[in-house]
Amino acid sequence: MNTKAKHVKELQVSIAGVAVGTLAQTERGQIWFEYDPAWIQSGLALSPTPSFALKSGAFKATNNIFDGLHGVFNDALPDGWGLLLMDRALKNKLGWDVHEITPLDRLAYIGNRAMGALEFKPSLENDEHTGTPSVPGLAEDALLAQEGSADEVLRALTIHGGSPGGARPKITLALVNDGGDVVMSGFEKIPANFDHWMVKFRSKNTDPASMGRIEQAYAKMATLAKVDMPPSRLISANVRGIEEAFFAVKRFDRDKNKKLHVISLGGMLDASHREPCLDYTQLLKAVHFATRNVKEVERAFRVMVFNVLAHNKDDHVKNFAFIYDGQDWKFSPAFDLTFSGGMNNQHTTAIAGQGNPKLAAIGLVAKSAGIKNWKLVVDEVFSAVSQWKQIADDYKIEHRIASEYFRAIQSGSCYADLA
């Protein structure tokens, strides 16, 4: 163990090998970012917000909510599961306790493995070469990590599972695109017949055994509701003698070997996902501001309606994102759609000020955003969500769980207004 490792004070930020700018931390702990002069001439602004406009001069984050780190760079860091793995790895490798680790240390550890397109140098040693990943093997490792026996499994997990956010264990890998289960590492150049995917495991103590099938059923229901979703599927693996189905979703921040720049709503606004801080009226305004496209606003509105009717109340600011497609900002495909009670059974993002909205609140949000066909959107989503029990049956979800979810769905004020 190296107990004398120096903390990172400066990082070069790049995209596809091209210098974007420099992050630096002062002796007093303040973090500044400055664009590279060449990037100002030919690059893209890392965020649609005015604070990140392409201009010379260093600037700090708009607030201290991410320990002084700018939101767009905080997006490159994991939270929950990935953060747990990182903290354990840095303790094992460098002897750093959690309170000693700085945001720049974390970015250096992530290096070129962040979600999105940003890469950070110099990178801390992170055992990049781990061989061919195995879904059953990594699922077993995830269980061991949750049981506290992490030391012997950290090497593979911190590479394949150390960058995604969220509380549940996740891994990133490349999956053959013929529907088979052949996998390879996603941190090398992948062949034309592979794509980048994320596979979610379940939390050992809180998720039901059918968690993967539940999330796939929600993805199916969202697709029926005409919500823009990435391709998803189930991957079967035998773990500790039990056959499990894990939810896998194609990554929208990757196009074969090209990384796409992504910023979350929380990263754009320097807002934390750990507490309610926004209303969907503000979300739709942010979508219009970033994209300047009414169609993108309508896509975001449909996601809101789905979240309300399908009882997905964990709709925080990190669960909405924007992708830069090379020319414009677009609202990302929907993700992390599943049954959730949120905080105190309230939506994390309010709907016209309501945590459990009636249909009238949906109308108020639509009116504020100028969405004229909102009743058609509501009817289409309601039709899809009404099919939950059949969809759940198709994915072999336990009757007890499917019925419990449907009772909660039906108890929603907006659903009741439509039934």
The rounded mean pLDDT for the chain is 91
Mean predicted confidence (pLDDT) in 23-47: 95
DSSP helix/strand/coil, 271:
coil
Phi, psi of 195 (to 5 degrees): -135, 160
The residue with greater pLDDT, 325 or 222, is: 222
Band (130; pLDDT cuts 50, 70, 90): low
CA geometry: angle 318, 322, 328, nearest 5 deg: 165
Phi, psi of 248 (to 5 degrees): -125, 135
Band (374; pLDDT cuts 50, 70, 90): very high
Band (145; pLDDT cuts 50, 70, 90): confident
Q: What is the end-to-end Cα distance of the chain in Å, rounded?
A: 62
DSSP 312: B
Domain residue ranges of the chain, discontinuous segments joined by +: 10-121, 135-254, 261-418
Which range is least confidently modeled, 41-45, 53-57, 293-297?
41-45
Which range is least confidently modeled, 60-64, 310-314, 403-407?
60-64
Q: Where are the alpha helices (DSSP H) in 23-80?
A: 37-42, 71-74
* Strand-pair category, 349-350 with 278-279: parallel
List the strands of the sheet with 262-264, edge to edge.
262-264, 321-324, 329-331
Tokens coding 416: 């009741």
Which range is least confidently modeled, 120-129, 150-159, 185-194, 206-215?
150-159
Residue 1: its pLDDT value, please?
A: 44
Q: How many beta carbons lie within 10 A of that of residue 343, not counting itself?
A: 15
